[in-house]
Every structure is written in C-alpha cells, then in structure tokens.
Amino acid sequence: MKSLKNHLSLVVALLSILFSLQTFIIVDRSINAYKDNLANNYSIVAVSQKTLNANIIINQHKLIKKIVLLSPDKVIKKLNHGISKKNIDLLKLSLPKFYKLVLVYYPSPSEVNNLTKALLRDTSVIKVETFSKSHDTTYKLLLLFKTVISVLAFSVGIVTILLISKELKIWQFKHTERMNIMGLFGAPTWLSSAVLFRLAFVDALIASAFAFVIFSYIASSVWVEEQLSNIGITVIVFDPILDFGVMLGLALLLSTLLATLIVISHKEEV
Amino acid sequence: MDKVIVANNLSLSYSKDETIINKVSFSIDSGSFIFITGASGSGKSTLLKSLYGALKPQEGSLVVAGVELNGVTRSKLNLLRKHTGIVFQDYKLVKEWTIEKNIMLPLIISGYDKTVQKTQVDTLLKHVRLTHQAGKYPKELSGGEQQRVAMARALSHNPVLILADEPTGNLDDYSSQLIWNLLEGANTDLKSTVIVVTHHIPESMGVDFKHFHIEYGSIHEVA
C-alpha cells in the first residue's frame, strides 16, 4: 500500500501527460489524413489551345502530381442533334483542350494563386479554374482546426510544466530528508539519489505501460473506427512501436528531469 | 599520541553578524573519550556539526582525522563521514526504511558485502536489545528505542570517530545505560574516539574521559 502510494502521484501525472500527447497526435494525424483526402478530391482545371506536355508541366510545377486530359465527348454529345459528323469532327478539332491537374497536397490559397499565374504564363493556356471559393472556405476551416490543435498542444505543455513543478515540490519534501541523512553518513550524490532515479524510472515504465493498454484498447475500438470512416479517413490511432517509443521516451525524460532537478536543488541541512 | 582533531583559532557562525564559537584552539587525542558541556545555546551542537563538516569554519582551521575542513571537497568530506559515526539529537532515521535497513546505512555506503551487513546488523540489534523490532519502521518505536537504533547505526561500520549530540537527552534510565555502555564499548574495544555533547555527565563512567566546557564562545578543559 505504502509502495503503491509512493508511485501513484508521479504515475498519475505522467499518465495524464502521455494521454494528452497521444490525443494530440491522433487529432493531428486525423487532420493530416483529412487534408490528404481533400487533396485527392480537389483538382484544378486548365484550358489550353494546344496539347500540353504532361512531363514538362509536372517538372515545372512541383505542386502538380498528375495531368489528365478531359474528354470533350460529353459536351459534344449534348450538341450533336442535327449536326453532321464532319462538323462534329471539325468542332472537336477547334475546341480547346481541358486538363484536370491533380495536386501533390492540398495547397493554400496563395499557392493556388501562384500556380494559376505560372500556368497562365504559357500563352497556350487560356483559362485556369481553381474553384477558389469552395477551396478557400475548406482551407480556412482546416487552418482553424490546426490552430485549435496548436492551442491544445500549448495548453498541454503548460499543464505538463505545472504538473511537473507540483510533483517536484512533493518529491523534494519526500526525498530530501533521506538524501540528507545519507549525505551525513558520507553517501556520494549518485548513491543518495539512486532511490529517486530508480523510482523515476519505474514510474515512467508504469505510466507508459498504462498508456499502452489504454491506447491499444482505443485503437481496437469499433466505435472509433466508425467515427473515422464516417469522415472518410483512415488513421493509425496507436502505433504500438513508434507511439509507445515516443511515450516511453517522454515519460523517461520527464521523470529523469524531475529527479535531476531535485538532486541539483538539494542542499545539505545545517 | 596521534591527534584526531586539531582546531586553530576556529570561529563558527551561522551568519556574519553572530559568532557562536570565537577563535578557539584545542586538540583531541585519538582514542580518547570526550564530554563537551555548556549551557543551552552555548555552541556545543554547533561545534559538533563542524566536526562532521555540516558547518564550515568561518575562520581558522579545523582538521578532523587528517582532513582540513576549511575548503574541503565533497569527496574528502564523504570519506571522512564514512569513518565517522554520528548520533543526532533528533535521531535522523530514514522514515520509509525498516530499523534493520537504517542500521545498515553506513555499511551500504561503505560498500560492505551483504552477508557482512546482515551479520553486523544482527549483532548490533542484539546489543541494543531490538532484535524483535528489526522489521519495524521508526515511527512504530518509542523515542528511547529510536535513539538506540541511531546508536547502532553510528557503530555499525566500526568508525574511528563517534560524535554524539545529547544521546541520552530524553531517555529513560534503561535506554540511557544501554547507550553509555555502547559508547564505552566502542571506545575500549574498537578504539574509537568518542565525543559526546551533553548537559549531564553520568556519575559513573567505565572509561577515562576528558571534559571540555563551552562558555561565551570559548572552550576550555575542565580538570
């Protein structure tokens, strides 16, 4: 019971930090996945009087992933009543070429503007349609989400500092006396603080293990999967190797930092 | 005879404004038994603190077991403390450790083998009549029992110097007698130098001793 109490305070503090961090990672991944989704569904249409060389265009504009020539058949089909085949062939030849430009990622409005200007520099390109109104609204919404996430990350950072400083005071109170007594009998700093570092290490392991179990459960939850598929994205909620590594690393870093601060601030009682 | 402590024009203070011990010079022979007396607030405990390096000399020099404490490095101070057994007025036992582990502390610090640690602790627990309390924590013991634990801890590593600050201050006769017997034993059997700060020197002592008295910041030997 006593041993459990010794561990509980730091484990709870670390666990809340790890939980906030992983939540932030999941939300960030979801936004990025949504952004990729948008990029796949968004494209620009360029109208050219001449056939465009896809390789040259892609090499010139890094934002363009693929160029697809749009067939004019659908438009012509609507007009072909009472028009001879010869005239339709002539019409086909005189019509400009329509290209769908698939982009590498979902660009910002200024990137879209720059691309439009760059494409129009080619004299054969007569029109570039960016569907800017709907694009700008979606981009602003995405930007808002990003800002909210950044504020959340900042808040988590502040809470982390507060939790750690609170824990620092508790630990100082709990461990200073023992360190002092050990020092009076000639214990070197590494020995008198060994218990502290061992406790920090064990607590970091316990907190990471708890976080591992919680997020493994969340990642396997059907409900979470449903929510993500509802917005058309697939996200790795918890990577048992990478995410656990980050969690363990952070927990070890914070607890070791805490122990080090106590050792540094420790002064022998006179 | 070798000197275990040599003080020359030693001044001690906690602040610049007030000097507790003022330019005293004295020496203590190795293997001797010393009582230091004085009124409350005279500086007895302050002098004792300086002997284990918890308080640095404000002025003058203080050499304990060959270690100059004025400007001593941490590693040299640790080395001195490893050979010193200290009994504190407030016991200074580690609350979260058992009695057994508390007594073991100096042996752990000195890096003794675990078997030696266990044997030594068992012997000392017998000496202080606390074998049955070995697994208990300090708060489960009476003041007298805690002081006996503190005494056992001070003796566990066979120190060359034992410093005791009012070791029988609030103890019953039984515990007091046990403490004096242990200190006498350490002095005669282990040849440890024993320095005891106290208000009252016991009427019958089984060893020869010297008596120093502190008054108005000075120290003098009482004949």
Give the one of A181, A186, A189 whose C-beta lies nearest to B92's C-beta.
A181
- What is the rounded distance in angstroms from the CA atom of residue B18 to the CA atom of residue B216? 12
Using 50, 70 and 90 to split pLDDT, how confident is the model at A88?
Answer: confident
Q: Calculate mean pLDDT across residues A232-240.
A: 89
The alpha helices in chain A, defined as continuous H runs, are 2-41, 54-60, 73-79, 85-94, 109-120, 132-184, 189-192, 194-219, 222-230, 242-265
| Residue B94, number of CB atoms within 10 A of its CB | 19
Q: What angle do CA A172, A178, A180 make, to 5 degrees?
A: 85
Phi, psi (degrees; rounded to nearest 5) at B41: 80, 10
Contact criterion met (CB < 8 Å) for B78 and A188: yes
Chain B environment of A2 (Cβ under 8 Å): 96
- Is the pTM here over 0.95, yes or no? no
The whole-angstrom distance between residue A155's C-alpha and the CA centroid of its chain comes to 17
B180-204: pLDDT as tens digits: 999 999 999 989 999 999 988 988 8
Residue with tokens 């050979």: B83
Chain B environment of A187 (Cβ under 8 Å): 78, 109
Q: Answer yes or no: are the C-beta atoms of A187 and B106 closer than 8 Å.
A: no
Contact criterion met (CB < 8 Å) for B109 and A187: yes
Angle, helix A2-41 to helix A194-219, in steps of 10 degrees: 40
Contact criterion met (CB < 8 Å) for B93 and A181: yes
How many alpha carbons fall within 13 Å on the CB side of residue A173?
Answer: 7
Contacts 24+ apart (CB under 8 A), A212-219: A212/A240, A212/A244, A212/A247, A214/A19, A215/A22, A215/A243, A216/A240
Chain A environment of B49 (Cβ under 8 Å): 270
A43 three-class SS: strand
**Residue A65: which residues within 8 A CB-CB, separation 6 or more?**
A58, A102, A103, A104
Element (H or E) spanning B210, and its range?
A: strand B210-215
pLDDT above 60 for A1: no
Q: What is the CATH topology of the domain spanning B32-50+73-222?
A: Rossmann fold (3.40.50)
By C-alpha distance, the chain B residue nearest A187 is: B109
- What is the rounded distance in angstroms from the CA atom of residue A70 to the CA atom of residue A85? 21
Q: Answer yes or no: are the C-beta atoms of A23 and A215 closer than 8 Å.
A: no
Domains and CATH numbers, chain A: 2-37+138-265 (no CATH), 43-130 (3.30.70)
Using 50, 70 and 90 to split pLDDT, how confident is the model at B61?
Answer: very high
| Minimum distance, in Å, between the CA of residue A27 and any CA atom of chain B | 43
A·B CB contacts under 8 A: 54
| Minimum distance, in Å, between the CA of residue A16 and any CA atom of chain B | 27
By C-alpha distance, the chain A residue nearest B91 is: A181
Q: Where are the domains of chain B?
A: 32-50+73-222
Residue with tokens 């109208």: A47
Contact criterion met (CB < 8 Å) for A186 and B75: no
B220 touches chain A (CB under 8 A): no
- What is the rounded distance in angstroms from the CA atom of residue A229 to the CA atom of residue A224? 9
Strands B193-197 vs B59-64: parallel, antiparallel or unpaired: unpaired
A135-172: pLDDT as tens digits: 778 778 878 887 888 888 788 878 877 887 787 788 77
Q: What's the full length of chain A, in residues? A: 270
Percent of chain A with pLDDT over 90: 23
Q: What is the ipTM of this complex?
A: 0.91
Q: Answer yes or no: are the C-beta atoms of A98 and A47 closer than 8 Å.
A: yes
pLDDT above 70 for A270: no
B113 touches chain A (CB under 8 A): no
